[in-house]
Amino acid sequence: MKIFLIGMPGCGKSSLGRQLADTLDLPFIDLDEVITAKENQNIPEIFAAQGEDYFRIKERKALHNINDVYREFVMATGGGAPCFFDNMAYINKSGISIFIDVDPYIIANRLTVKDLEERPLFNNIASDDLTKELIKKLEKRKPYYQQAQYTIQGNNLRVEDLLDLLQKEE
């Protein structure tokens, strides 16, 4: 089973993904962590040095490589990963895609200053403007996210909610 968790930064892809992988006894893969390890730079450094286009190409290659190497996994994609190239179609063809849909106001409250420093698309935004930027970014990304096979909504999702969703898949 290959499970791809998609959604906005701060929606819980990584934390829920780790719990889900542990519960299902599958490897957990954070796509952003794979890229930063391979590039030996964090994402803001990659964006600053090589630009977003370079990052998105590396992201696509990492997505394909991981999918080719692993038979099963739970993956937390980066928030933008489904929105570039043919990534969303590729994800849907490769496994189960789940859009974790969390209210942008909740995400804004979750993100700390440290979180924002690590997110190049949000790191120059005043905290007062963060919710507005998250809403704008979600509106642009939602057409891609809505292509996921499943959507799970909620501001306090638990791993049990994902397990219930996957039970329906069987």
Residue 116, pLDDT score: 53
Q: First CA to last CA across the chain, in angstroms?
A: 11
Element (H or E) spanning 97, and its range?
strand 96-101
Contact 95, 1 (CB under 8 A): yes
pLDDT tens digit string along 100-133?
999 998 888 877 544 655 655 556 666 668 889 8
Please give the share of the chain, as a percent, with pLDDT higher than 90: 75
pTM of the model: 0.91
Residue 155, pLDDT score: 86
Sign of CA dihedral 80, 4, 148, 167: negative
Contact 99, 6 (CB under 8 A): yes
The dihedral region occupied by 21, where left means phi > 0, alpha psi between -120 and 50, and beta the remainder, is alpha
Residue 113, pLDDT score: 45
Domains, the chain, with CATH or none: 2-163 (3.40.50.300)
